[in-house]
Amino acid sequence: MFKILEARELAANIYLMVVEARRVAKKCQPGQFIIVRMDEEGERIPLTICDYSREDGTVTIVFQTVGAGTMKMAGLKAGDSFHDFVGPLGCPSEFVNEPQEELGKKKMLFVAGGVGAAPVYPQVKWLKERGIEADVIVGAKTKDLLILEKEMEAVAGNLYVTTDDGSYGRSGMVTQTIKDLVAEGKRYDVCVAIGPMIMMKFVCKMTEELGIPTIVSLNPIMVDGTGMCGACRVTVGGEVKFACVDGPEFDGHKVDFDQAMKRQQMYKTAEGRAALKQQEGDAHHGGCGQCG
């Protein structure tokens, strides 16, 4: 069992939990994720890692309530436990393995949309701990939905907050701020964009025009998280990839976002899942237990 040490609501329907998970905390790296289950029969819920402490043996997760599983999870309090807390899963962010000297020369821009601020935070923190300061744009629909602002401020070189409705910080979507910063003379060697699929699609469209290589973190439907079921299939550079083992981070300019978004919608209905199984044949694996 994995004990919850802290549980609080960060914004409407967005929750933070600090969980005692020593083995995961010892090994996890920025970019990776975990899968939780509340009980033996529970749904497997993949979540990106927001923070970790190797000393305390804790992992911090942030999640938004989107379905029955996450709604039930939101009811857990400090002192309750998860039945499973599996990880770290997926590949760490590529920059973790880059020579520090080379990395230090790069001007990096992180773009976090909504709950995407959670997986961006450990990446920027990891860089800061090594003396590398990155610029960060955090976008939220409104001021009330903005999360982790103080935490991000503490690790970012420059932090640009933007709200779609202009209720706080700059006004407009994250793409507007990217455009403004470049127009103001900022130059970036790499961009890391994490947030809703539609945001990552439009950030990539813009950075492609601006000539900025861009990494995105994909969060398609996942079931086993170990490459067995085929649920998290995506197309990158014309090749089939599985986000849980080949990603979750990919070259954003090569991702087929339209297909990924369509697939995400199809997975929601039994009819859609049956169609996917038929269309994807062997590459779907069929072992997800969802497709009949």
Q: Report the interface residues with ligand NAD, using CB under 6 A.
A: 48, 64, 113-116, 119, 139-141, 164, 173-175, 194-196, 198-199, 202, 217, 219
Q: Which does 202 bind (CB under 5 to 8 A by kind): ligand NAD, ligand FES, none?
A: ligand NAD
The one among 69, 92, 213, 227 contacting ligand FES by CB under 6 A: 227
174-183 helix and 197-210 helix, angle to the nearest 10 degrees: 20
Based on CB atoms, which residue is closest to ligand NAD, 98 or 144?
144
Q: Which of residues 229-248 bind ligand FES (CB under 6 A)?
A: 229-232, 242, 244
Q: Are 73 and 63 in contact (CB under 8 A)?
A: yes
CA R_g for the chain: 19
- Assigned token pair, 92: 């760490």
Q: Are 119 and 64 in contact (CB under 8 A)?
A: no
The answer to the question of residue 206 lying near ligand FES (CB under 6 A) is: no
Based on CB atoms, which residue is closest to ligand NAD, 81 or 290?
290
Task: Show Cβ contacts of residue 250 under 8 Å, excluding neighbours closer than 6 positions.
Answer: 215, 216, 218, 234, 236, 241, 243
Q: Which does 164 bind (CB under 5 to 8 A by kind): ligand NAD, ligand FES, none?
A: ligand NAD
Based on CB atoms, which residue is closest to ligand NAD, 141 or 277?
141
| Shortest reach from residue 240's CB to ligand FES, in Å | 11
Q: Are 87 and 32 in contact (CB under 8 A)?
A: yes
Q: Which does 115 bind (CB under 5 to 8 A by kind): ligand NAD, ligand FES, none?
A: ligand NAD
Based on CB atoms, which residue is closest to ligand FES, 5 or 228?
228
User: Cα(218)–Cα(92) distance, rounded to whole angstroms?
Assistant: 13
Based on CB atoms, which residue is closest to ligand FES, 24 or 221?
221
CB neighbourhood size of 284 (10 A):
19
- Assigned token pair, 209: 């025009």
Cis peptide, bond prior to residue 122, ω within 30 of zero = no
Based on CB atoms, which residue is closest to ligand FES, 63 or 242?
242
The answer to the question of residue 223 lying near ligand FES (CB under 6 A) is: yes
Binding-site size, ligand FES (CB under 6 A) = 12
Q: Are 78 and 159 in contact (CB under 8 A)?
A: no
Q: Is 167 helix (H, G, I), strand (E, B) or coil?
A: coil
Which positions lie near ligand FES, rule CB under 6 A? 222-225, 227-232, 242, 244
